[in-house]
Amino acid sequence: MIEKIKEHIEEVERFNAHTLEEAENFRIKYLGKKGVLNDLFAAFKDVPNEQKKEYGQTINRLKNLAQDRVQELKERLADAKADEKRYGDLSRPGYPIEIGSRHPISIVKNQIIDIFSRIGFNVSEGPEIEDDWHNFTALNLPEYHPARDMQDTFFVQTNPDMLLRTHTSSVQARYMENNKPPIRTISPGRVYRNEAISARSHCFFHQVEGLYVDKGVSFADLKQTLQYFTSEMFGKSKIRLRPSYFPFTEPSAEVDVYWGLETETDYRMTKGTGWLEIMGCGMVDPNVLQNCGIDPNEYSGYAFGMGIDRIALLQYQISDIRMLSENDLRFLQQFKASF
């Protein structure tokens, strides 16, 4: 007899209900008029005297347990029912969480940062609304210098000394003013130029500036670094440096990478030459070092600057630069990358 009651106790402990109806059926089964407990109490009179005490205690335990269980289940299920009214069916599947994708500009920027950080460059930033000194004058572009015309500038109307930076070279000037050599830094950011918007140019775009200043930095160091960069970035290490002019470097060069002529797109992109221009560079002009508080007799440096948008267009074969700022999801969703 007592063994049987113990089995009931186990069953009550294990029981779980998912609906109020199930809980009610459970109550009827144990605590109802024709329920298990009533039968057990009715059998009490037939229990031998020496077992009466234990028997009584055990069925009382079963009774309390069953009552507690029913009450607990009913409360919980009633709460869930109220929640369901409030929130709808909580067991329904959720909305799928979609994984976003980075913007191609961010992907390329992060790749560039990663490549240069492996050879000891840190990342620095400067303001997009810049003063004349850091954007032009400190970089050897004094007022009325004809080279200022190379970069059509947006000026702040209320303060002619302030402008939207036309290049990230302004961060070079700031970094040299605030840090002592050895300096190895790259400065990514957005720049602005007063240009007509077309498939090939925009009034804002992105650049990465690079700067290395130390004792005995040479043009050979520059070339080696750029070669490392192009082979890491594009898998192409054939480059050429064409003599050029920038006011802030002397000598200056433009860097072309040999892209190859394997596909029709290669022909179109390189205008049939196989070569693609990817950045400007040179040895930091001694005047610039001087302007920024670094002794040009003790230190030398190299600098380079490249357009991120341009590289993104090349890497992903995007034909129109405007796509990069239109925020069309059909375009953006195509760029799933780990960077």
- 140 binds ligand DAH per the rule CB under 6 A: no
Closest distance to ligand DAH from the beta carbon of 241 (Å): 11
Residue environment code for 89-128, b if the CB has 16+ CB neighbours within 10 A, otherwise e: eeeeeeeeeeeeebbbbbbbbebbbebbeeeebeebebee
**Region of 27-35, 92-100, 267-275, 278-286 interacting with ligand DAH (CB under 6 A):** 278-286
Q: List the structure tokens of 171.
A: 């961060």
Nearest in space to 320 (alpha carbons), one of 201, 234, 205 = 201
- 213 binds ligand DAH per the rule CB under 6 A: no
Residue 257 vs 281, nearer CB to ligand DAH: 281
Site string for ligand DAH, 255-274 (x = CB under 6 A): --------------------
Which spans in the chain are helix H?
A: 2-14, 20-31, 36-42, 49-87, 104-117, 132-135, 169-178, 219-234, 264-269, 286-291, 308-316, 323-326, 329-332
Nearest in space to 294 (alpha carbons), one of 137, 183, 129, 140 = 183
Task: Choose which of 192, 205, 212, 246 interacts with ligand DAH (CB under 6 A).
Answer: 246
- 303 binds ligand DAH per the rule CB under 6 A: yes
Task: Choose which of 249, 270, 291, 300 interacts with ligand DAH (CB under 6 A).
Answer: 249
- 281 binds ligand DAH per the rule CB under 6 A: yes
For the chain, counts of helices (H) and of strands (E) = 13, 10
- Euclidean distance between CA atoms 324 and 309, whole angstroms: 8
- 136 binds ligand DAH per the rule CB under 6 A: no
Residue 188 vs 280, nearer CB to ligand DAH: 280
Residue 299 vs 304, nearer CB to ligand DAH: 304
Q: List the structure tokens of 286.
A: 């001694």
**Region of 15-23, 108-116, 264-272, 277-285 interacting with ligand DAH (CB under 6 A):** 277-285
Query: In the complex, which residue's CB is closest to ligand DAH?
Result: 305
Q: If residue 90 lies in a helix (H) or strand (E), which one and from where to where?
A: none
- 300 binds ligand DAH per the rule CB under 6 A: no
- 169 binds ligand DAH per the rule CB under 6 A: yes
- Euclidean distance between CA atoms 301 and 284, whole angstroms: 5
Residue 181 vs 305, nearer CB to ligand DAH: 305
Q: In which residue are the tokens 């605590």 written?
A: 31
**Region of 65-73, 260-268, 270-278, 298-306 interacting with ligand DAH (CB under 6 A):** 298-306
- 276 binds ligand DAH per the rule CB under 6 A: no
- Euclidean distance between CA atoms 181 and 171, whole angstroms: 15
Nearest in space to 40 (alpha carbons), one of 16, 65, 22 = 65
- 280 binds ligand DAH per the rule CB under 6 A: yes
Tell me the number of residues near ligand DAH by CB under 6 A: 11
Q: In which residue are the tokens 């970069």 written?
A: 151
Residue 281 vs 321, nearer CB to ligand DAH: 281
Contact footprint for ligand DAH (CB under 6 A):
167, 169, 209, 246, 249, 280-282, 303-305
